[in-house]
Amino acid sequence: MGKLEYIVQKAGDNAYPLHLGVDERREVLVLQECPGKADFDIRLGSGAQLDLTVISMACSKAGACAEPRNIVNGFKVNLDSENAVCNLNGVYLVDSGNRVTNKVDMNHNVGHCISNQLFRGILWDSSRSDFEGRIYVAPDAQKTEAYQANNNIVESEQARAHTQPHLEIYADDVKCSHGATVGNKESGELFYMQSRGISLANAKVLLKQAFLLGVLEKISDDDLKEEMSMKILSSLR
Amino acid sequence: MGKILEIKNLHAKLKEGREILKGIDLTINEGEVHAIMGPNGAGKSTLSAVLAGRDTFEVTEGEVTFMGENLLEMLPEQRSWAGIFLGFQYPVEIPGVSNTNFMKAAVNEHRKAKGLPELSAAEFIRMMKEKMAIVQMNQSFSSRGVNVGFSGGEKKRNEIFQMAMLSPKLAILDETDSGLDVDALRIVGNGVTQLKTPQNASLVITHYQRLLDYIVPDIIHILYDGRIVRTSGAELAREVEDKGYDWIIKSL
Protein backbone atom coordinates (compact mmCIF):
# COMPACT_ATOMS: atom_id res chain seq x y z
CA MET A 1 0.00 0.00 0.00
CA GLY A 2 1.13 3.56 -0.74
CA LYS A 3 1.84 6.10 1.93
CA LEU A 4 -1.06 7.12 4.07
CA GLU A 5 -2.48 10.56 3.22
CA TYR A 6 -3.36 12.49 6.34
CA ILE A 7 -5.69 15.45 6.03
CA VAL A 8 -6.77 17.84 8.77
CA GLN A 9 -10.07 19.16 7.52
CA LYS A 10 -10.82 22.89 7.43
CA ALA A 11 -14.07 24.45 8.58
CA GLY A 12 -16.76 24.88 5.93
CA ASP A 13 -17.41 22.85 2.79
CA ASN A 14 -14.90 20.24 1.71
CA ALA A 15 -14.89 18.03 -1.37
CA TYR A 16 -12.86 14.87 -1.62
CA PRO A 17 -12.83 13.38 -5.12
CA LEU A 18 -11.26 9.99 -4.60
CA HIS A 19 -11.04 8.41 -8.01
CA LEU A 20 -8.68 5.46 -8.11
CA GLY A 21 -7.31 3.94 -11.30
CA VAL A 22 -6.82 0.28 -12.13
CA ASP A 23 -5.12 -1.58 -9.27
CA GLU A 24 -4.40 1.69 -7.47
CA ARG A 25 -4.30 1.62 -3.67
CA ARG A 26 -4.82 4.59 -1.41
CA GLU A 27 -5.23 5.04 2.29
CA VAL A 28 -6.68 8.32 3.51
CA LEU A 29 -7.14 9.56 7.06
CA VAL A 30 -9.24 12.66 7.67
CA LEU A 31 -9.36 14.41 11.03
CA GLN A 32 -12.31 16.73 11.59
CA GLU A 33 -12.22 19.08 14.56
CA CYS A 34 -14.18 22.00 13.14
CA PRO A 35 -17.78 22.38 12.00
CA GLY A 36 -18.23 21.62 8.35
CA LYS A 37 -19.35 19.44 5.56
CA ALA A 38 -17.40 16.81 3.67
CA ASP A 39 -18.41 15.18 0.41
CA PHE A 40 -16.50 12.06 -0.46
CA ASP A 41 -16.97 11.11 -4.09
CA ILE A 42 -15.45 7.66 -4.43
CA ARG A 43 -14.96 5.79 -7.71
CA LEU A 44 -12.77 2.76 -7.88
CA GLY A 45 -11.16 1.22 -10.94
CA SER A 46 -10.80 -2.48 -11.43
CA GLY A 47 -8.72 -4.08 -8.65
CA ALA A 48 -8.37 -0.76 -6.79
CA GLN A 49 -8.56 -0.48 -3.02
CA LEU A 50 -9.42 2.53 -0.89
CA ASP A 51 -9.07 2.59 2.90
CA LEU A 52 -10.70 5.72 4.25
CA THR A 53 -10.89 6.59 7.94
CA VAL A 54 -12.73 9.70 9.11
CA ILE A 55 -12.41 10.88 12.71
CA SER A 56 -15.04 13.41 13.74
CA MET A 57 -14.27 15.21 16.99
CA ALA A 58 -17.41 17.17 17.71
CA CYS A 59 -16.56 17.42 21.35
CA SER A 60 -15.61 20.41 23.44
CA LYS A 61 -12.27 19.02 24.61
CA ALA A 62 -10.91 18.76 21.06
CA GLY A 63 -9.91 21.44 18.57
CA ALA A 64 -10.07 25.18 18.74
CA CYS A 65 -13.18 25.88 16.65
CA ALA A 66 -16.22 27.46 18.21
CA GLU A 67 -19.35 25.49 18.98
CA PRO A 68 -21.77 24.29 17.80
CA ARG A 69 -19.46 21.91 16.03
CA ASN A 70 -21.74 20.13 13.59
CA ILE A 71 -20.10 17.80 11.14
CA VAL A 72 -21.81 16.28 8.10
CA ASN A 73 -20.17 13.59 6.01
CA GLY A 74 -21.54 12.25 2.76
CA PHE A 75 -19.93 9.19 1.21
CA LYS A 76 -20.99 8.49 -2.35
CA VAL A 77 -19.34 5.31 -3.54
CA ASN A 78 -19.62 3.86 -7.03
CA LEU A 79 -18.08 0.49 -7.68
CA ASP A 80 -18.20 0.30 -11.46
CA SER A 81 -15.34 -2.12 -12.09
CA GLU A 82 -14.77 -5.60 -10.73
CA ASN A 83 -12.46 -6.64 -7.88
CA ALA A 84 -12.44 -3.25 -6.19
CA VAL A 85 -12.34 -2.98 -2.40
CA CYS A 86 -13.75 -0.03 -0.45
CA ASN A 87 -13.20 0.19 3.31
CA LEU A 88 -14.93 3.06 5.11
CA ASN A 89 -14.17 3.60 8.79
CA GLY A 90 -15.57 6.28 11.03
CA VAL A 91 -15.12 7.36 14.63
CA TYR A 92 -17.17 10.15 16.16
CA LEU A 93 -17.09 11.75 19.59
CA VAL A 94 -19.97 14.11 20.13
CA ASP A 95 -20.88 16.19 23.16
CA SER A 96 -22.73 19.30 24.36
CA GLY A 97 -25.28 20.22 21.67
CA ASN A 98 -23.12 19.07 18.73
CA ARG A 99 -24.20 16.78 15.96
CA VAL A 100 -22.43 14.39 13.58
CA THR A 101 -24.01 12.92 10.47
CA ASN A 102 -22.59 10.11 8.37
CA LYS A 103 -24.48 9.31 5.23
CA VAL A 104 -23.19 6.42 3.16
CA ASP A 105 -24.40 5.54 -0.31
CA MET A 106 -22.56 2.38 -1.29
CA ASN A 107 -23.34 1.29 -4.84
CA HIS A 108 -22.22 -2.11 -6.03
CA ASN A 109 -22.97 -1.52 -9.70
CA VAL A 110 -20.93 -4.53 -10.82
CA GLY A 111 -20.07 -7.83 -9.18
CA HIS A 112 -16.93 -9.17 -7.48
CA CYS A 113 -16.35 -6.10 -5.30
CA ILE A 114 -16.01 -5.87 -1.52
CA SER A 115 -17.15 -3.05 0.73
CA ASN A 116 -16.82 -2.70 4.50
CA GLN A 117 -18.34 0.04 6.62
CA LEU A 118 -17.46 0.37 10.28
CA PHE A 119 -18.67 3.44 12.17
CA ARG A 120 -18.45 3.80 15.94
CA GLY A 121 -19.27 6.74 18.13
CA ILE A 122 -19.76 7.93 21.69
CA LEU A 123 -22.33 10.56 22.62
CA TRP A 124 -22.54 12.74 25.71
CA ASP A 125 -24.79 15.53 26.98
CA SER A 126 -27.53 16.50 24.53
CA SER A 127 -25.59 15.59 21.40
CA ARG A 128 -26.86 13.70 18.45
CA SER A 129 -25.54 11.41 15.75
CA ASP A 130 -27.14 10.19 12.56
CA PHE A 131 -25.95 7.26 10.55
CA GLU A 132 -27.68 6.49 7.29
CA GLY A 133 -26.17 3.59 5.48
CA ARG A 134 -27.48 2.53 2.10
CA ILE A 135 -26.10 -0.49 0.31
CA TYR A 136 -27.23 -1.03 -3.24
CA VAL A 137 -26.37 -4.22 -5.12
CA ALA A 138 -27.32 -4.13 -8.81
CA PRO A 139 -29.23 -7.09 -10.32
CA ASP A 140 -26.17 -8.61 -12.01
CA ALA A 141 -23.60 -7.64 -9.37
CA GLN A 142 -23.03 -11.26 -8.33
CA LYS A 143 -20.32 -12.29 -5.84
CA THR A 144 -20.64 -8.96 -4.09
CA GLU A 145 -19.55 -8.73 -0.45
CA ALA A 146 -20.98 -5.76 1.41
CA TYR A 147 -20.79 -5.33 5.16
CA GLN A 148 -21.93 -2.54 7.42
CA ALA A 149 -21.78 -1.93 11.17
CA ASN A 150 -22.71 1.10 13.24
CA ASN A 151 -22.22 0.98 17.01
CA ASN A 152 -23.02 3.74 19.46
CA ILE A 153 -22.41 4.27 23.16
CA VAL A 154 -24.84 6.79 24.56
CA GLU A 155 -23.71 8.35 27.81
CA SER A 156 -26.62 10.59 28.69
CA GLU A 157 -30.39 10.45 28.73
CA GLN A 158 -30.54 13.51 26.49
CA ALA A 159 -28.18 12.26 23.78
CA ARG A 160 -29.62 10.60 20.70
CA ALA A 161 -28.03 8.17 18.29
CA HIS A 162 -30.03 7.51 15.17
CA THR A 163 -28.98 4.68 12.96
CA GLN A 164 -30.68 3.66 9.78
CA PRO A 165 -29.42 0.83 7.63
CA HIS A 166 -30.97 0.54 4.21
CA LEU A 167 -30.24 -2.43 1.99
CA GLU A 168 -31.34 -2.80 -1.60
CA ILE A 169 -30.06 -6.07 -2.93
CA TYR A 170 -31.12 -7.22 -6.36
CA ALA A 171 -28.50 -9.93 -6.98
CA ASP A 172 -28.85 -13.36 -5.40
CA ASP A 173 -25.27 -14.61 -5.05
CA VAL A 174 -23.98 -12.07 -2.53
CA LYS A 175 -22.71 -11.84 1.04
CA CYS A 176 -24.17 -8.87 2.86
CA SER A 177 -24.60 -8.03 6.50
CA HIS A 178 -25.48 -5.06 8.60
CA GLY A 179 -25.62 -4.49 12.31
CA ALA A 180 -26.45 -1.52 14.45
CA THR A 181 -26.25 -1.14 18.21
CA VAL A 182 -27.13 1.71 20.50
CA GLY A 183 -26.56 1.32 24.17
CA ASN A 184 -24.63 1.85 27.28
CA LYS A 185 -21.81 -0.41 28.32
CA GLU A 186 -22.37 -3.95 29.39
CA SER A 187 -22.76 -4.12 33.16
CA GLY A 188 -21.25 -7.62 33.22
CA GLU A 189 -17.98 -6.33 31.80
CA LEU A 190 -17.91 -3.44 34.27
CA PHE A 191 -18.52 -5.67 37.27
CA TYR A 192 -15.83 -8.07 36.13
CA MET A 193 -13.32 -5.23 35.91
CA GLN A 194 -14.39 -3.77 39.26
CA SER A 195 -14.04 -7.17 40.89
CA ARG A 196 -10.37 -7.05 39.87
CA GLY A 197 -9.94 -3.68 41.54
CA ILE A 198 -10.39 -1.43 38.50
CA SER A 199 -12.54 1.48 39.68
CA LEU A 200 -15.81 2.03 37.85
CA ALA A 201 -14.65 5.27 36.20
CA ASN A 202 -11.44 3.68 34.88
CA ALA A 203 -13.29 0.57 33.77
CA LYS A 204 -15.66 2.70 31.70
CA VAL A 205 -12.78 4.54 30.03
CA LEU A 206 -10.97 1.27 29.27
CA LEU A 207 -14.10 -0.13 27.63
CA LYS A 208 -14.66 3.00 25.56
CA GLN A 209 -11.04 2.93 24.46
CA ALA A 210 -11.42 -0.70 23.41
CA PHE A 211 -14.63 0.12 21.57
CA LEU A 212 -12.94 2.83 19.48
CA LEU A 213 -9.73 0.87 19.07
CA GLY A 214 -11.78 -1.58 17.01
CA VAL A 215 -11.90 1.15 14.33
CA LEU A 216 -8.53 2.84 14.91
CA GLU A 217 -6.68 -0.42 14.43
CA LYS A 218 -7.59 -0.15 10.75
CA ILE A 219 -5.08 2.71 10.35
CA SER A 220 -1.94 1.12 8.92
CA ASP A 221 0.55 3.79 10.01
CA ASP A 222 1.58 3.10 13.61
CA ASP A 223 2.59 6.68 14.43
CA LEU A 224 -0.67 8.15 13.18
CA LYS A 225 -2.65 5.39 14.85
CA GLU A 226 -0.95 6.30 18.12
CA GLU A 227 -1.49 10.02 17.57
CA MET A 228 -5.21 9.51 16.87
CA SER A 229 -5.57 7.18 19.86
CA MET A 230 -3.98 9.73 22.18
CA LYS A 231 -6.17 12.50 20.81
CA ILE A 232 -9.29 10.43 21.33
CA LEU A 233 -8.20 9.12 24.70
CA SER A 234 -7.74 12.64 26.02
CA SER A 235 -11.33 13.46 25.04
CA LEU A 236 -12.91 10.44 26.71
CA ARG A 237 -14.68 10.77 30.00
CA MET B 1 -5.30 -17.40 63.90
CA GLY B 2 -6.83 -14.17 62.59
CA LYS B 3 -10.40 -13.91 61.47
CA ILE B 4 -10.72 -12.99 57.77
CA LEU B 5 -14.44 -13.16 57.09
CA GLU B 6 -17.42 -13.26 59.39
CA ILE B 7 -20.93 -13.57 57.98
CA LYS B 8 -23.84 -13.23 60.39
CA ASN B 9 -27.46 -13.99 59.52
CA LEU B 10 -27.05 -12.87 55.90
CA HIS B 11 -30.26 -12.51 53.91
CA ALA B 12 -30.22 -11.43 50.28
CA LYS B 13 -32.67 -11.26 47.44
CA LEU B 14 -32.65 -10.56 43.75
CA LYS B 15 -33.19 -6.85 43.34
CA GLU B 16 -36.55 -7.43 41.73
CA GLY B 17 -37.45 -10.76 43.10
CA ARG B 18 -37.40 -13.49 45.63
CA GLU B 19 -35.20 -14.07 48.65
CA ILE B 20 -32.31 -16.42 47.89
CA LEU B 21 -30.09 -16.30 50.97
CA LYS B 22 -32.14 -16.92 54.10
CA GLY B 23 -29.76 -16.48 56.99
CA ILE B 24 -26.13 -17.52 56.34
CA ASP B 25 -23.62 -17.75 59.18
CA LEU B 26 -20.02 -18.43 58.25
CA THR B 27 -16.62 -17.60 59.71
CA ILE B 28 -13.35 -18.07 57.81
CA ASN B 29 -9.97 -17.77 59.51
CA GLU B 30 -6.46 -17.34 58.13
CA GLY B 31 -4.98 -20.49 56.64
CA GLU B 32 -8.34 -22.20 56.12
CA VAL B 33 -9.84 -23.69 52.99
CA HIS B 34 -13.64 -23.88 53.10
CA ALA B 35 -15.85 -25.54 50.55
CA ILE B 36 -19.50 -24.80 49.98
CA MET B 37 -21.40 -27.56 48.25
CA GLY B 38 -25.04 -27.84 47.44
CA PRO B 39 -27.58 -28.67 44.78
CA ASN B 40 -28.46 -26.28 41.96
CA GLY B 41 -30.49 -23.30 43.10
CA ALA B 42 -29.31 -23.50 46.72
CA GLY B 43 -27.82 -20.00 46.55
CA LYS B 44 -24.12 -20.83 46.10
CA SER B 45 -23.46 -18.37 43.29
CA THR B 46 -25.63 -15.73 44.96
CA LEU B 47 -23.46 -15.93 48.06
CA SER B 48 -20.29 -15.37 46.04
CA ALA B 49 -21.87 -12.54 44.04
CA VAL B 50 -23.10 -10.81 47.21
CA LEU B 51 -19.64 -11.05 48.79
CA ALA B 52 -18.06 -9.53 45.66
CA GLY B 53 -20.64 -6.73 45.57
CA ARG B 54 -22.71 -7.51 42.49
CA ASP B 55 -25.56 -5.00 42.46
CA THR B 56 -28.17 -7.33 41.01
CA PHE B 57 -28.65 -8.58 44.59
CA GLU B 58 -29.81 -6.70 47.61
CA VAL B 59 -28.85 -7.57 51.18
CA THR B 60 -31.95 -7.30 53.34
CA GLU B 61 -30.57 -8.43 56.68
CA GLY B 62 -27.36 -9.44 58.41
CA GLU B 63 -23.71 -8.41 58.58
CA VAL B 64 -20.52 -9.24 56.74
CA THR B 65 -17.22 -8.26 58.30
CA PHE B 66 -14.04 -8.61 56.25
CA MET B 67 -10.68 -7.96 57.93
CA GLY B 68 -12.55 -6.03 60.60
CA GLU B 69 -14.39 -3.78 58.14
CA ASN B 70 -18.03 -3.70 57.07
CA LEU B 71 -17.80 -5.38 53.67
CA LEU B 72 -21.35 -4.51 52.62
CA GLU B 73 -20.56 -0.79 52.54
CA MET B 74 -17.73 -1.21 50.05
CA LEU B 75 -17.85 -0.89 46.26
CA PRO B 76 -16.76 -3.99 44.32
CA GLU B 77 -13.36 -2.43 43.53
CA GLN B 78 -12.83 -1.50 47.18
CA ARG B 79 -13.54 -5.11 48.15
CA SER B 80 -10.89 -6.18 45.67
CA TRP B 81 -8.35 -3.73 47.14
CA ALA B 82 -9.24 -4.99 50.61
CA GLY B 83 -8.36 -8.53 49.53
CA ILE B 84 -11.46 -10.25 48.15
CA PHE B 85 -11.08 -12.13 44.90
CA LEU B 86 -13.96 -13.75 43.03
CA GLY B 87 -13.11 -16.42 40.49
CA PHE B 88 -16.05 -16.29 38.09
CA GLN B 89 -18.04 -19.31 37.00
CA TYR B 90 -18.40 -17.62 33.62
CA PRO B 91 -15.43 -15.27 33.13
CA VAL B 92 -16.39 -12.27 31.05
CA GLU B 93 -14.90 -11.56 27.61
CA ILE B 94 -13.66 -8.02 27.05
CA PRO B 95 -12.80 -7.49 23.38
CA GLY B 96 -10.22 -4.79 22.73
CA VAL B 97 -8.73 -4.78 26.26
CA SER B 98 -5.61 -6.94 26.30
CA ASN B 99 -4.89 -9.22 29.23
CA THR B 100 -1.76 -7.15 29.89
CA ASN B 101 -3.54 -3.79 29.98
CA PHE B 102 -6.34 -5.26 32.07
CA MET B 103 -3.97 -6.64 34.70
CA LYS B 104 -1.77 -3.53 34.62
CA ALA B 105 -4.81 -1.38 35.43
CA ALA B 106 -5.86 -3.79 38.18
CA VAL B 107 -2.43 -4.20 39.79
CA ASN B 108 -1.72 -0.48 39.73
CA GLU B 109 -5.04 0.40 41.32
CA HIS B 110 -4.31 -2.14 44.06
CA ARG B 111 -0.92 -0.53 44.59
CA LYS B 112 -2.43 2.95 44.62
CA ALA B 113 -4.93 1.85 47.28
CA LYS B 114 -1.98 0.69 49.39
CA GLY B 115 -0.08 3.94 48.79
CA LEU B 116 2.54 2.23 46.60
CA PRO B 117 3.93 3.63 43.33
CA GLU B 118 3.04 2.03 39.99
CA LEU B 119 5.21 -0.85 38.85
CA SER B 120 7.71 -0.14 36.08
CA ALA B 121 7.03 -1.85 32.75
CA ALA B 122 9.90 -4.29 33.35
CA GLU B 123 8.74 -5.17 36.88
CA PHE B 124 5.24 -5.72 35.63
CA ILE B 125 6.30 -8.02 32.76
CA ARG B 126 8.46 -10.05 35.15
CA MET B 127 5.50 -10.44 37.53
CA MET B 128 3.19 -11.50 34.66
CA LYS B 129 5.65 -14.17 33.50
CA GLU B 130 6.13 -15.52 36.99
CA LYS B 131 2.39 -15.77 37.69
CA MET B 132 1.49 -17.19 34.29
CA ALA B 133 3.86 -20.07 35.00
CA ILE B 134 1.76 -21.05 38.03
CA VAL B 135 -1.11 -22.07 35.74
CA GLN B 136 1.08 -23.04 32.76
CA MET B 137 -0.40 -20.25 30.69
CA ASN B 138 1.16 -19.51 27.33
CA GLN B 139 2.64 -16.01 27.11
CA SER B 140 0.83 -15.35 23.86
CA PHE B 141 -2.25 -14.84 26.03
CA SER B 142 -0.90 -11.53 27.37
CA SER B 143 -1.59 -9.60 24.20
CA ARG B 144 -4.99 -11.15 23.52
CA GLY B 145 -8.27 -9.55 24.55
CA VAL B 146 -9.37 -10.61 28.04
CA ASN B 147 -10.87 -14.10 27.69
CA VAL B 148 -11.68 -13.47 24.01
CA GLY B 149 -11.58 -16.75 22.12
CA PHE B 150 -10.29 -18.61 25.19
CA SER B 151 -11.49 -22.17 25.71
CA GLY B 152 -13.35 -23.00 28.92
CA GLY B 153 -10.16 -24.31 30.51
CA GLU B 154 -8.10 -21.31 29.42
CA LYS B 155 -10.66 -18.94 30.93
CA LYS B 156 -10.46 -20.69 34.30
CA ARG B 157 -6.68 -20.72 34.19
CA ASN B 158 -6.83 -17.01 33.46
CA GLU B 159 -8.95 -16.55 36.59
CA ILE B 160 -6.31 -18.28 38.72
CA PHE B 161 -3.57 -16.27 36.99
CA GLN B 162 -5.43 -13.05 37.93
CA MET B 163 -5.76 -14.34 41.47
CA ALA B 164 -1.99 -14.92 41.57
CA MET B 165 -1.38 -11.37 40.32
CA LEU B 166 -3.58 -9.83 43.02
CA SER B 167 -2.66 -12.17 45.93
CA PRO B 168 -5.99 -11.87 47.73
CA LYS B 169 -6.60 -12.47 51.39
CA LEU B 170 -9.73 -14.45 50.51
CA ALA B 171 -10.26 -16.18 47.17
CA ILE B 172 -13.85 -17.15 46.42
CA LEU B 173 -13.87 -19.66 43.59
CA ASP B 174 -17.33 -20.00 42.11
CA GLU B 175 -17.77 -23.33 40.32
CA THR B 176 -14.24 -23.10 39.02
CA ASP B 177 -14.44 -26.76 38.02
CA SER B 178 -17.37 -26.35 35.66
CA GLY B 179 -16.42 -27.01 32.06
CA LEU B 180 -12.95 -28.30 32.90
CA ASP B 181 -11.39 -31.52 31.69
CA VAL B 182 -9.14 -33.52 34.01
CA ASP B 183 -5.91 -31.83 32.89
CA ALA B 184 -7.27 -28.32 33.30
CA LEU B 185 -8.75 -29.32 36.66
CA ARG B 186 -5.34 -30.50 37.85
CA ILE B 187 -3.61 -27.31 36.64
CA VAL B 188 -6.24 -25.09 38.28
CA GLY B 189 -6.19 -27.15 41.48
CA ASN B 190 -2.40 -27.08 41.67
CA GLY B 191 -2.41 -23.34 40.99
CA VAL B 192 -4.76 -22.66 43.88
CA THR B 193 -2.77 -24.95 46.17
CA GLN B 194 0.49 -23.17 45.27
CA LEU B 195 -1.06 -19.84 46.20
CA LYS B 196 -2.11 -21.04 49.63
CA THR B 197 -0.31 -19.43 52.58
CA PRO B 198 -0.89 -19.47 56.35
CA GLN B 199 -2.17 -15.87 56.04
CA ASN B 200 -4.79 -16.25 53.33
CA ALA B 201 -7.92 -18.36 52.88
CA SER B 202 -10.15 -19.77 50.16
CA LEU B 203 -13.82 -20.43 49.77
CA VAL B 204 -14.40 -23.03 47.08
CA ILE B 205 -17.94 -23.22 45.75
CA THR B 206 -18.79 -26.37 43.89
CA HIS B 207 -21.53 -28.74 42.96
CA TYR B 208 -19.24 -31.73 42.64
CA GLN B 209 -16.61 -33.34 44.76
CA ARG B 210 -14.01 -33.69 41.99
CA LEU B 211 -12.32 -30.28 42.42
CA LEU B 212 -11.89 -31.08 46.12
CA ASP B 213 -9.53 -33.91 45.16
CA TYR B 214 -7.12 -31.15 44.09
CA ILE B 215 -8.00 -28.41 46.56
CA VAL B 216 -8.48 -30.22 49.85
CA PRO B 217 -10.78 -28.27 52.16
CA ASP B 218 -10.53 -28.14 55.94
CA ILE B 219 -14.24 -27.54 56.33
CA ILE B 220 -17.21 -28.34 54.12
CA HIS B 221 -20.59 -26.64 54.32
CA ILE B 222 -23.72 -27.84 52.61
CA LEU B 223 -25.92 -25.02 51.36
CA TYR B 224 -29.55 -25.80 50.78
CA ASP B 225 -32.43 -23.40 50.15
CA GLY B 226 -30.43 -20.35 51.21
CA ARG B 227 -29.09 -21.77 54.47
CA ILE B 228 -26.05 -23.74 55.56
CA VAL B 229 -27.63 -26.97 56.74
CA ARG B 230 -24.52 -28.96 57.60
CA THR B 231 -20.86 -28.26 58.38
CA SER B 232 -18.28 -30.97 58.61
CA GLY B 233 -14.74 -32.09 57.68
CA ALA B 234 -13.51 -33.06 54.21
CA GLU B 235 -15.04 -36.54 54.46
CA LEU B 236 -18.49 -35.01 53.87
CA ALA B 237 -17.62 -34.38 50.22
CA ARG B 238 -17.09 -38.07 49.60
CA GLU B 239 -20.40 -38.86 51.21
CA VAL B 240 -22.16 -36.35 48.93
CA GLU B 241 -20.43 -37.83 45.91
CA ASP B 242 -21.63 -41.32 46.84
CA LYS B 243 -25.12 -40.56 48.04
CA GLY B 244 -26.07 -37.21 46.51
CA TYR B 245 -27.69 -34.38 48.45
CA ASP B 246 -31.04 -36.06 49.10
CA TRP B 247 -30.06 -37.84 52.29
CA ILE B 248 -28.97 -34.56 53.86
CA ILE B 249 -32.11 -32.78 52.77
CA LYS B 250 -34.29 -35.63 54.05
CA SER B 251 -32.54 -35.62 57.41
CA LEU B 252 -33.40 -31.95 57.96
Please name the residue of chain A whose CA is at the shortest distance from the CA of residue B103: A196
Give residue-wise pLDDT tens across range A83-123.
Answer: 999 999 999 999 999 999 999 999 999 999 999 999 999 99
Chain B positions touching A193 (Cβ under 8 A) are 94, 102, 105-106
Chain A: give the shortest CA distance to residue B107, in Å. 8
A183/B88: higher pLDDT: B88
Is the sign of the CA dihedral A178, A181, A187, A192 positive or negative? positive
Tell me, what's the ipTM? 0.94
Q: Is the confidence at residue B218, as pLDDT, over 70?
A: yes
Helices (H), B55-120: 76-82, 99-113
Cα distance between residue A11 and residue A14, in whole Å: 8
Cα distance between residue A232 and residue A211, in whole Å: 12
Those residues of chain B whose CB sits closer than 8 Å to some CB in chain A are 52-55, 75-77, 79-81, 85-86, 88, 91-92, 94-97, 101-103, 105-106, 109-110, 113, 145, 162, 166
Q: Do A206 and B105 touch (CB under 8 A)?
A: yes
Q: Residue B241's domain spans which residues?
A: 3-250
Q: Is the confidence at residue A63, as pLDDT, over 80?
A: no
B59 strand-pairing partners: B12
Q: Is the confidence at residue A185, as pLDDT, over 70?
A: no
Centre a 10 Å sphere on the Cβ of residue A118 and count the other Cβ atoms it contains: 18
CATH of the domain at B190: 3.40.50.300
Q: Answer whether A195's CB lies under 8 Å from B86's CB.
A: yes
Chain B positions touching A202 (Cβ under 8 A) are 105, 109
Residue B88 has its nearest CB partner, among A192, A202, A210, at A192
The model's confidence at residue A2, banded by pLDDT at 50, 70 and 90, is low
Q: Do B92 and A189 touch (CB under 8 A)?
A: yes
Is the sign of the CA dihedral B93, B96, B100, B105 positive or negative? negative
E strands, chain A, where?
Answer: 5-8, 12-20, 25-32, 36-44, 49-58, 71-79, 85-94, 99-108, 114-123, 128-137, 145-154, 160-169, 175-183
Residue B96 has its nearest CB partner, among A192, A197, A214, at A214
Please name the residue of chain B whose CA is at the shortest distance from the CA of residue A189: B92
Q: What interhelical angle do B99-113 and B121-134 show, nearest 10?
A: 110
The model's confidence at residue B210, banded by pLDDT at 50, 70 and 90, is confident
Mutate which: A91, A191, A218, A232, vs B, most B CBs within 10 A: A191
For chain B, the domain total comes to 1
Look up residue B128 and give its amino acid.
M
Chain A: give the shortest CA distance to residue B160, in Å. 12
